[in-house]
């Protein structure tokens, strides 16, 4: 995939996205030879494995222009042979990507790094960015409201990864509001200059200059 955005990033852009589990994809995952499955992650309850799957999007009018994408499958099993709450013994998921050189484990780790676990992302969007409090009974307005919540989450994630100090990488929106966004101050004019007076010491905001330099702000 190539980027041709005017004034934006040029060249190759690698991506990885969660894939919808279609019947054809599930059948291909089930047919994957056992020797392809590799350990991916493990905790006290489940074992996670991954494997590259020989599955490509069907050649239809909608996707004939697309480049072939690589499919990585994830297999999750209970350690004690127990069933999941839905009654199944094994759960399958898949990720589709245009990165062919990375090992499956590294690709999945990178894919998860974007926002952390999806449950934590859902909790932040719903409980801290008002995504779970819809404004009215109109579907379109509620859809727009939720999209704004998701956009805010993405912007905050980019801000933490691109510009803020490492200790704020896991900061939730409430903490960012307290430390940065809701800082009380007063604009005053003195000697033909506009000055922002803050209620806290300058050392508290010493990282702002570095953050502004790191952000891709318009010139």
Least confident range of 11-20, 28-37, 48-57, 207-216: 207-216
| Interatomic CA distance for residues 50 and 90, integer angstroms | 13
Backbone angles phi, psi at 146, to 5 degrees: -65, -35
Contact 162, 215 (CB under 8 A): yes
Question: Please, where are the H alpha helices in the chain?
Answer: 23-30, 104-113, 118-127, 139-162, 173-176, 208-214
Whole-model pTM: value is 0.53
The DSSP annotation for 43-75 comes to: -SSEEEEEEEE-------TTTTTSPP-EEEEEE
Contact 24, 107 (CB under 8 A): no
> Tokens 């966004």 label which residue?
181
| Interatomic CA distance for residues 27 and 37, integer angstroms | 16
Q: pLDDT class for 73, splitting at 50, 70, 90?
A: very high
pLDDT value of position 196:
78
What separation in angstroms does the CA of 207 have from each of 157, 159, 167, 184, 199? 17, 13, 12, 17, 17
> Tokens 């004939």 label which residue?
64
For the residues 167-177, what does the mean pLDDT come to?
86
Percent of the chain at pLDDT > 70 equals 79
SS3 129: coil
For the residues 12-26, what does the mean pLDDT come to?
86
Per-residue pLDDT reduced to its tens digit, 21-72:
888 889 999 999 999 999 888 877 888 999 999 877 655 555 555 667 889 9
Q: pLDDT class for 82, splitting at 50, 70, 90?
A: confident
Where do the domains of the chain lie? 2-111, 115-219
Q: With 70 as the cut, is the pLDDT of residue 212 above it?
A: no
Average predicted confidence (pLDDT) for the chain: 80
| Interatomic CA distance for residues 56 and 105, integer angstroms | 20
């Amino acid at each position: 995939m190539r980027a041709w955005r005017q004034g934006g990033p040029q060249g190759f852009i690698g991506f990885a996205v969660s894939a919808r589990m279609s019947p054809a994809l599930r059948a291909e995952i089930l047919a994957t030879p056992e020797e392809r499955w590799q350990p991916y992650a493990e905790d006290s309850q489940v074992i996670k494995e991954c494997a590259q799957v020989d599955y490509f999007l069907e050649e239809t009018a909608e996707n004939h222009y697309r480049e072939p994408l690589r499919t990585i499958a994830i297999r999750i099993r209970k350690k004690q042979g127990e069933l999941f709450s839905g009654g199944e013994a094994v759960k399958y998921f898949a990720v589709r990507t245009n990165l062919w050189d990375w090992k499956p484990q590294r690709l999945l780790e990178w894919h998860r790094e974007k926002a952390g676990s999806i449950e934590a992302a859902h909790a932040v969007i719903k409980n801290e960015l008002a995504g779970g409090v819809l404004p009215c009974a109109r579907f379109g307005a509620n859809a727009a409201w939720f999209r704004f919540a998701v956009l805010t989450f993405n912007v905050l994630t980019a801000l933490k990864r691109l510009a803020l100090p490492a200790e704020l990488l896991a900061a939730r929106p409430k903490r960012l509001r307290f430390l940065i966004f809701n800082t009380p101050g007063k604009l005053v004019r003195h000697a033909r200059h506009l000055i922002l007076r803050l209620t806290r010491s300058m050392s508290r905001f010493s990282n702002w200059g570095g953050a502004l330099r790191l952000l891709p702000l318009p010139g």
